[in-house]
Amino acid sequence: MGRRVAVLGQGYVGLPLALRATEVGYAVVGFDVDKERVERLWAGESYIEDVPDERLRAALETGRYVPASDIAACADFDVAVIAVPTPLHEGVPDVSYIEQACELLGPYVRRDCCVVLESTTYPGTTTEVVAPILEQASHLVAGEDFRLGYSPERIDPGNETWKLENTPKLVAGVDGASLAAVKAFYDTVVEETVEMKGTAEAELAKLVENTFRHVNIALVNELAMTCGDLGVDIWEAIRGASTKPFGYLPFFPGPGVGGHCVPVDPSFLSWRVRRRMGQTFRFVEMANDVNEHMPDYVVRRLTLGLNRRCLAVNGATVLVLGLAYKGNSTDIRESPAVPVVEQLLELGARVRLADPLAGPSPLDSQVTRVEATEAEAAGADGVVLLTDHDAFDLDALAAASCYFLDTRHRVAGEAVEYL
């Protein structure tokens, strides 16, 4: 396997991969169409929470990591990895970023090089989208002249235990030679690779992982709503069920699902089934319905809690703890906290928002950003915990509050009410 690597996309997936490849000895071009991003990388300023500035600067100092916004810098690559976003638009997968990356990379594809797609997508993308574009631009044939494969990303932002290098990596190719090339590269980057039968199976495996989570989160979220009306403690029921050493895996309720993976990936599978077979993937459709409406339920519970205290949402001061989609993360993509805040604003609440990690958001012009202090909690008519950052002193905040809606089951107290 050659020593020159190009990583297209320097986001949550591409940047950690580019730096890891640099650290194990490859000469790496980190390509991104965002010139401002590339400038920040050259300045040693990381915009990814899992990549400290010190690690980025160390990679730059080796001279082997070169950020670039000019695709020509990727010429003569031995391995190219495509790690670009794949968003959903009204339930339809948008693979335009993959297509653009392939169009840019195609002229530089040469014999015996290896191209790997890491972006999460529907089964068939590698062979039906990536291969034709690369073949047309290079006048070469995938599998025969150059190697082509798929290896789904498994990055979990903020996870201190499972990182790129120690998380098993699925590898697949369009033929045996391609599989061997993809595996040879990742064997030098991660501790364990797992061979897959084909690229479609590897693409599906990624969707299976997050569909499993999505469906089970929806199950406990619906149970939480039902148990709330029945007056049964869902958290205690889950605690009891979790003592069973076999046949059960605990999932927990929350204000909804967020991030790029869980709310998005299952819909790739649902869309593919609907388009190819004319059928609905009922589990995914139901899970989408439940999880998308959890922010509505949070607002309803907060409204009822205020009403019991003879207060209306309209005109009430509400302290919202957390905007990121999960604890100890800066990521607000698809965060359920956003629709919760939007609905509170529509109902006339005066929202004060505390999140020490999340950066600027479109909501900032409508809310007051504050620090999560006991004084803020005491001055609010209601406090709602949406994101359980370790930086929050939740016990102190709950003790200072007159009403505290805990959607994460993190604190106890007289004023605390659970989802």
Which pLDDT belongs to residue 158?
Answer: 78
pLDDT digits (tens, 9 = 90+) for 309-325: 999 999 999 999 999 99
Q: Average pLDDT, stretch 87-96?
A: 78
Question: Phi, psi (5° rounding) for residue 200?
Answer: -65, -40
pTM: 0.87
Which pLDDT belongs to residue 273?
Answer: 66
Catalytic residue among 114, 261, 310, 402: 261
* Count of residues making up the chain: 419
CATH of domain 4-196: 3.40.50.720
pLDDT tops 70 at residue 281: no
Which pLDDT belongs to residue 330?
Answer: 86
pLDDT tops 70 at residue 303: yes
Q: Average pLDDT, stretch 10-16?
A: 95
Which pLDDT belongs to residue 122?
Answer: 87
What distance in Å separates the CA atoms of residue 64 and residue 66, rounded to the nearest whole number?
6
Q: Where do we find the tokens 């989802």?
A: 419
Instruction: Report strand pairing: 368-369 vs 350-354.
Output: parallel
Which pLDDT belongs to residue 210?
Answer: 85
Which pLDDT belongs to residue 286?
Answer: 82
pLDDT digits (tens, 9 = 90+) for 347-368: 999 999 999 998 888 899 999 9
pLDDT tops 90 at residue 279: no
pLDDT digits (tens, 9 = 90+) for 148-173: 999 999 988 778 899 999 999 999 99
Q: Average pLDDT, stretch 76-85?
A: 96
Which pLDDT belongs to residue 309?
Answer: 94
- Crossing angle (nearest 10°) for helices 282-292 and 265-277: 140
Q: Average pLDDT, stretch 207-221?
A: 89
**Domain ranges across the chain:** 4-196, 206-290, 293-418
CATH of domain 293-418: 3.40.50.720
Which pLDDT belongs to residue 275?
Answer: 65
What distance in Å separates the CA atoms of residue 212 and residue 165, rounded to the nearest whole number?
24
pLDDT tops 90 at residue 189: yes
For 281, residues 6+ apart whose C-beta sits below 8 A from its C-beta are: 266, 269, 270, 273, 274
Which pLDDT belongs to residue 258?
Answer: 73
CATH of domain 206-290: 1.10.1040.10
Average pLDDT, the chain: 92
Which pLDDT belongs to residue 360?
Answer: 87
Band (pLDDT 50/70/90 cuts) for residue 81 is: very high
Is residue 261 annotated as a catalytic residue, yes or no? yes
pLDDT tops 80 at residue 262: no
Q: Would the CATH topology of 4-196 be identical to that of 293-418?
A: yes
Which pLDDT belongs to residue 274?
Answer: 66
Which pLDDT belongs to residue 4?
Answer: 96
